[in-house]
Amino acid sequence: MKLTNLFAFGLVSAMLLASCGGKEKPKTKENDSNKVDTSKVDTSAQVPTTVNIVETAKTDTNLSMLVDLLSTAGLVETLSDESQKFTVFAPTNAAFAKLGDKKLASLKEEKNK
């Protein structure tokens, strides 16, 4: 009896999956009315300027400690290279403050580059 129930469940599942996919909405005038006429959109103001990680961090006062530590670590030049791609998880000043004054002072020491 269990094998029969399992087979029936599998058959019903397969039928449900088959009925769910693959069909596109037919085109109607209602679907076409939601389209934006991009020929009249001024895109000249939407072109992003390339800004490196350091310049981005400098514009946010919550990242001033990060900027200082990047300088101490000698990473400003590396992270300013716009021909390279980097991902930086940037702690805020509040996150650095949770380390405490002693640990922050240690991070700023030249020997800990």
Q: What is the pLDDT of residue 97?
A: 94
| Residues near 96 by beta carbon (within 8 Å), at least 6 away in sequence | 65, 66, 69, 104
Tens digits of pLDDT across the chain (113 residues): 444 444 444 444 444 444 555 555 555 555 555 666 666 666 665 555 668 889 989 999 999 999 999 998 899 999 999 888 888 898 999 999 999 999 999 988 888 77
Sign of the dihedral defined by the CA atoms of residues 50, 55, 57, 62, in that order: negative
Spans of all domains in the chain: 48-112
The CATH number, out of the four listed (2.30.180.10, 3.40.920.10, 3.40.50.20, 3.40.50.2300), of the domain defined by the range 48-112: 2.30.180.10
Q: What is the pLDDT of residue 35?
A: 67
How crowded is residue 67: how many other Cβ atoms within 10 Å of its Cβ? 19
